[in-house]
Amino acid sequence: MSDRAKSGEEAVLRWTSVVGARPQFVKAAMIGRAVRRHNAARPAVRVAETLIHTGQHYDPGLSQVFFDQLDIRPPRINLGVGSGPHGRQTAEMLTGLESALAADRPDLVVVYGDTNTTLAGALAAAKLGIPIAHVEAGLRSRNMRMPEEINRVVADRLAALLFCPTREAVANLKAEGLGARARLVGDVMYDAFLHYKARARADSRILAGLNLTPRGYALATVHRQENTDDPERLRALFEAFNRIAAPDFPLIIPLHPRTRNALRALRPRTALAPAVIVTPPISYLDMIALEAEAAVVLTDSGGVQKEAAFAGVPCLTLRGETEWPETVAAGINRLVGADPGRIARGVRAARTAGGRRGAVRGLYGNGAAADRIVDILAKRFGARAPERG
């Protein structure tokens, strides 16, 4: 503890959270709530958090709705980078973030997950000599062809503190010589699921709006580059969706802009069966409601894999590997790639099992990960935080 803290004077730890994509908004919402709880307790070190939004996700259904629905304070800056090739997108983020961070000179930069926003935030802070904390550190798919794997590995190398959601993540970091920086705190996304699931059940009207019955439909999401940028894989996935969907068992797919554009570019185009119901991107609460009542979830998203596990809903991962292997070990997740036969068999098995395996308990903490993160950061960096007028 600093001398100032001992004397009862207030120090202020100023940090900047860098966000840009759906899962980061959810995590930042929980960290923001934890910051408010921390400050309400009148601590010796108060936290002043600023948000920078890179604009990586700019569609209102993937961005603004999360700020509105999850009570996230508006970002101080929105860089408005948008989509584009990885190199150009990351370069534009890096340019904007370097300028903003150089002007603000926060005591700390917090990055989340594994997107290009994560990479750019970590690089910009490291170049400026600003300490970095990485929330959701230590995940590994072992597939370096995935842009997300590159992003998370680089962020972990640069960060001073690595906040791990699972024991597996801590073990990964120890194997890479980064164990001294690792802290097992639990999963901030699990915090969010526990906090918002009752509200989603009460407020969401999406099942009624789509005329769905609980456990009478499948839910799918596709957005990873390995699926959207490979025409044969993309065609195989949507052929599988056509095989799964039936009048009495529709398949719902909230369509990511990247996937929508890739489908338009397919030649010849793949016609969708009438029971494949395509929607625009949906809000977090609607997504939680759909996941909780689905018979089976099909996804290439790491976050959706976990949310299915939180809800106890069988998941089929549309990839050959996962950064969440504990879900596979628990029997609630199955890796099926883009093989229509494996996908169809996985759906049949999930429906035969009754659409439930039981929620995965104890793997992701107890819902207090965000509070632990804020407490650790305040203690670690608060001793050096200057008094602010």
Catalytic residue (choose from 38, 57, 223, 256) = 223
- For this structure, is 223 an active site residue? yes
- The answer to whether 164 touches 138, Cβ cutoff 8 Å, is yes
The phi-psi region of residue 176 (left if phi > 0; otherwise alpha if psi is between -120 and 50; otherwise beta) is alpha
How many Cβ atoms sit within 10 Å of the Cβ of residue 158?
A: 19
Report angle CA 36, 375, 370 to the nearest 5 degrees.
Answer: 65
DSSP class of residue 145 equals T
Strands of the chain (E only): list them: 11-19, 45-53, 77-78, 108-112, 132-135, 161-164, 182-184, 218-221, 251-254, 276-279, 296-299, 315-317, 333-335
Structure tokens at 332: 């609630």
Buried b (16+ CB within 10 A) or exposed e, 51-66: bbbbbbbbbebbbebb
Look at the alpha carbons of 24, 27, 33, 34 in this order and tell me if their dihedral is positive or negative: negative
Cβ partners under 8 Å of residue 276, min gap 6: 238, 241, 242, 245, 250, 251, 253
Report the DSSP pairing between strands 132-135 and 108-112.
parallel
Q: Is 258 helix (H, G, I), strand (E, B) or coil?
A: helix
How many Cβ atoms sit within 10 Å of the Cβ of residue 264?
A: 9
CA dihedral in degrees (232, 249, 297, 239; nearest 10)?
Answer: 0
Annotated catalytic sites, by residue? 223
